[in-house]
Amino acid sequence: WIFDTALTGIIPTEIGSLERLKQILIFDTKLNGTIPNEIISCKELSALLLSSTKLEGNITKIIGGLKKLWWLSLSDTTISGIIPSEIGTLILLEHLDLSRTNIEG
């Protein structure tokens, strides 16, 4: 967990090299930018919590490639756009929190 810190900057694209990473839990930081597409290489990712950050952009279709994802929370961010239909392919997804965002659909 990384929470309630002054952590700033972006999620580096090199995160994709962490192929066995199981959880990303970052909450209440000043992290900004977008979720890099390279995250798709983290095939073991089961939890992606990036709530209460300054993240922006859209949830891209690549989210459907994270087949082990059971927890996705992007609440309290400026993420926007439409929920991609690929989220429906995440059969293990139990927790989805997109509250306090600019997401539609």
Summarised one tens digit per residue, pLDDT across range 67-80 is: 999 999 999 999 99
Q: Rounded CA gap, 97 and 81, in Å?
A: 15
What mean pLDDT is reported for the chain? Answer: 92
Work out the pLDDT band at 105, boundaries 50, 70, 90: confident
**Closest to 50 (Cα-Cα) out of 87, 85, 3:** 3
pLDDT of 52 above 80: yes
Bridge partners, residue 57, by sequence: 79
At residue 1, does pLDDT exceed 60?
no
